[in-house]
Amino acid sequence: MNRYPDVEQHMQALYRSLSEKDRRRYAAVEAVKVGHGGISYVAKLFECDPETVRHGAEDLVQLPEDEAEGRVRKQGGPQAS
């Protein structure tokens, strides 16, 4: 990691600002740009599971026909009373 520290900081800030689904998609796009070893690199950079990156790649394939378009899940879960 730390191939490009300034760029990586911007990438991490952008990643944190996105919705859950957009995070997966962004991670997948960045992994493809890196090529071989991209999933591992991006998963470490964004501190996410490599499976999240793979799921994002699946999301990208389905973009034109996204059933959940326009729906964004709120961060956090239901609060226990």
What is the average pLDDT across 19-28? 95
pLDDT value of residue 42: 97
pLDDT value of residue 4: 76
What is the average pLDDT across 16-30? 96
Could you tell me the pTM of the whole model?
0.75
d(CA 80, CA 31): 37
Token output for 53:
């990156």
Cα 48 to Cα 45, 53, 76, distances in angstroms: 8, 8, 16
* Per-residue exposure over 33-58, b if at least 16 CB sit within 10 Å of its own CB, e if not: eeeeebbebbbebbebeeebbbbbbe
Amino acid at site 44: K
- What is the per-residue pLDDT across 31-79, written as a single tens digit (0 to 9) for each? 999 999 999 999 999 999 999 999 999 999 888 765 666 666 666 655 5
What is the average pLDDT across 17-38? 95
Token output for 23:
């995070």
SS3 63: helix
